[in-house]
Amino acid sequence: MRPRKHLFKNIHNRKSWSSQSVFLSEDHVAPPTAVSFVDTHVHTRFSDGGATIQQVEEVCRELEIGCLIADHNEIRGSIKLLDRMKVPTLPSMEVGSREQIDLLMYFRSAEEAEIFFRLHVEPYRL
């Protein structure tokens, strides 16, 4: 099944994009590369999204953008994307709270994300 561009909201019209670029170059970013845009809030099948990691990668590469998978209370998709080293990314997740506030969390490394997940997310998952 071919991924659909609508996996990413509001990026189809490149004319509306700003000219500012993001440069992801640290060792913990996979792969180190310059991209014009990064979608920082993508969900996959690991939470409530419909896309696989491979579909996300294909769309990112086609559009030449980076992507941060921020599944709900889940890091597997983000870590898989990082490990595959096919698009610029950082470990990330969307964390829910008792106060009904969702926080987008971004990490410097997979290890940092896993420690945070084990200590602050996994014990409270339903």
Least confident of 21-25, 58-62, 83-87, 116-120: 21-25
Helix (H, G, I), strand (E, B) or coil at 28: coil
Structurally, the chain folds into a number of domains equal to: 1
- What range defines the domain where residue 99 resides? 5-13+21-124
pTM (whole model) above 0.85: no
pLDDT tens digits for range 16-32: 444 334 444 455 456 65
Cβ 80 vs Cβ 53: under 8 Å: yes
Helix (H, G, I), strand (E, B) or coil at 79: helix
At residue 29, the pLDDT reads 57
Cβ 105 vs Cβ 93: under 8 Å: yes
User: What is the rounded distance in angstroms from the CA atom of residue 84 to the CA atom of residue 91?
Assistant: 12
At residue 35, the pLDDT reads 83
Average pLDDT, the chain: 81
At residue 30, the pLDDT reads 62
* Cα angle: 11, vertex 12, 17; to 5 degrees: 50
